[in-house]
Amino acid sequence: MPTTAQIEIVKRTIPVLRQHGETLTRHFYARLFEHAPDVRRHFNPAHQRSGGQQRALAGAILAYAQHIDDPAALSDAIEVIAQKHASLTIQPEHYPIVGEHLLASIREVLGDAATADVLDAWAAAYDELAGVFIERERTIYAEQRAHQGWAGFTPFTIVQRERESDNIVSLYLVPADGSEPPAHLPGQYVSIRMQDADGHTAMRNYSLSNAPGAAAYRISVKREIGDGEVPGGDVSNRIHDGLAQGDRLELSPPCGAFTLELPEPDDRPLVFIAGGIGITPLISMAHAALQASPSRPVIFIQAVRHGGLRPFTRELETLAGRYPSFSLHVCFSQPRATDGVGDPSVKRGELEPADLRRWIGGWEATYYFCGPLPMMSRIDRMLETHGVAIDDRRYECFGPAQPLAARADDEGALEAHHEPTLA
């Protein structure tokens, strides 16, 4: 545990971390992968190439330094990361490796500013935080064995493959031993382990997109093609082009802290706002919410560029027909000529405050949203501006997360969902 003096030393490094944080984390990852190449499989190389992972870790280190004397402020964010680590089977022996190269990077990047006292203080701080993660992850693994029947990776078989849109395909997966998969919590994700195009072991997270308790797990994968600045997805393209019914993948048990919590009372509206592939955890939540309370108002808003990229059209329309309390609305930001023409539930354009006010009937509701970071930042600011409490604004980032603009000074700065941060 850091001493009082060491805590003060760590806090004094905050200005340096603000200025040089990304330089430090870029150096750290390069050093880590050079000296400990086996840990590379725990990271998405596309996020490394884009710089998103380095930014996420820089934000996490800064947030920890800011809250080192008030760890309770980071409890939610720590749970997010611990769940992520468990999904990738991070083990206690990984933490000393990461700590060694993080401290070496501080010394090498900061030079004379990295005095012996600074290095000792950060070593104590890292050991304290690593101990928190190790203990929480040990508990998660024990819970997985007790409630889900396995921990780590186990083989599953693809029993069905279904195209959902021009760029999304769903795989239905069951345990290879013929048993039924244990029910997941709506919003959870699994990790898959497979060989990438170069024959290297790769792990990726995908939300479970069907109702909890179904006979198979469903993951729905967007093809990431890249565009020169944003790299394409090695694994997503292999899933689209190379996997078929009967093939096997290894899965780790469902994980994740972004799960549905039904608000009280039963007539309080739930609003789901999905951007693109961000629909995957939200459609699972919608199924669960309607099954639990069929009369609760559920407003589902799906934002996509155009109709060809819209997944789960028939499934959502079936829910709208089955549950009078379920209302479905679509926003096409770049609509094709015929997309939504004449349909009052369709907005040809970006989602605006007037749309939410009209579709919800006010602002009082519990909101879950998931999608591209710019969209989520805009929605979060919109909801904050109209008086929606932070506890009623719940979101998840795919990839290495950055804090939403409206929360930049909150614990969200440490969130890193769907990509490991400290290990």
Instruction: Please list the active-site residues.
Output: 95, 137
Which residues lie across from 160 on neighbouring strands? 172
Spatial separation of the C-alpha atoms in residues 153 and 174, rounded to whole Å: 13
**Please, are residues 292 and 262 in contact by the beta-carbon 8 Å criterion?**
yes
Contacts of 70 (CB under 8 A, 6+ apart): none
Q: Sheet harboring 154-163: ordered strands across?
A: 201-207, 189-195, 248-251, 154-163, 168-175, 217-222
Contacts of 203 (CB under 8 A, 6+ apart): 41, 42, 88, 191, 192, 193
Instruction: Describe the crossing of helices 52-66 and 14-35 by its angle, rounded to 10 degrees.
Output: 130
| Partners of 298 in the β-ladder | 270, 326
Token pair of 223 as six digits: 């093809």
The verdict on whether omega for the bond into residue 265 sits within 30 degrees of 0, i.e. cis, is yes
Contacts by residues 322-326 (CB-CB < 8 Å, ≥ 24 positions apart):
322/290, 323/290, 323/294, 323/298, 325/290, 325/294, 325/295, 325/296, 325/297, 325/298, 326/286, 326/290, 326/298, 326/300
- Contact yes or no for 188/205 (Cβ under 8 A): no
The DSSP-derived string for 368-387 is EEES-HHHHHHHHHHHHHTT
CA dist 420 and 30 (Å) reads 16
**Distance (Å, rounded) from C-alpha 298 to C-alpha 293?**
10
